[in-house]
Chains A and B, each alone.
Chain A
């Protein structure tokens, strides 16, 4: 199974500042033929199901604000919130969909400092 490891487990950032979450996969999740990284990012707010933010590591879903940015390739990925807003307080998860079983990172809790 591919293990997804996020860091940090939690972070507190002042409003308007940058928040960066990293996610490492235990195996390469880049498909050479398509040049696509099989990584997704989700946001989960209290009492809600997860919301898909990015597919293919950096392809932003419709309606996701431009301050969210996904990047990375191979085994190293980042989710950046360029200017934290109050509504961004949530737990963020990375996920690989390269191979079964689908696996998630342990989550990173983002709070306002």
Chain B
């Protein structure tokens, strides 16, 4: 079954970093890009960046560029997203999602990881 499974909820202090994992199941891992999307409680969807597991390259949204890193581990079919310099404004639900080769919309999503900065 095709799915993305994310790591569990995190509680962090301001200034700390968080590392969220997204493990892929049921499809050829390197053939699909992985995106990260943030959703502040009660608000909309905010694209953070894209990772290409085939070559390890990533591109980030301007607002996250200075403090986000995305990596992938082909052997474990897992993508990681690290966000540094956390503030209370980073309290949100973080999703990973894949986009298939035939289009760039997001057809499979992880369940989300809640990060609370307090």
Contacts and interface: CB of A to CB of B under 8 A. Distances in A.
B89 interface: no
Interface residues of B, number: 21
- Describe A's contact surface by its main secondary structure: loop
B47 interface: yes
B98 to A, nearest CB: 11
Contacts of B47: 101-104
Given A49-B109, A49-B110, A93-B44, A101 B61 contact: yes
- Describe B's contact surface by its main secondary structure: loop
B53 interface: no
B80 interface: no
Contacts of A93: 44-45
B44 A102 contact: no
A74 interface: no
Contacts of A84: none
A50 B62 contact: no
A101 B37 CA distance: 12
B61 A40 contact: no
B35 A102 contact: yes
Interface stretch (B7-15, B71-79, B100-108): B100-108
12 contacts: A38-B104, A40-B103, A49-B97, A50-B97, A55-B107, A93-B45, A97-B103, A97-B104, A97-B105, A101-B61, A107-B44, A107-B45
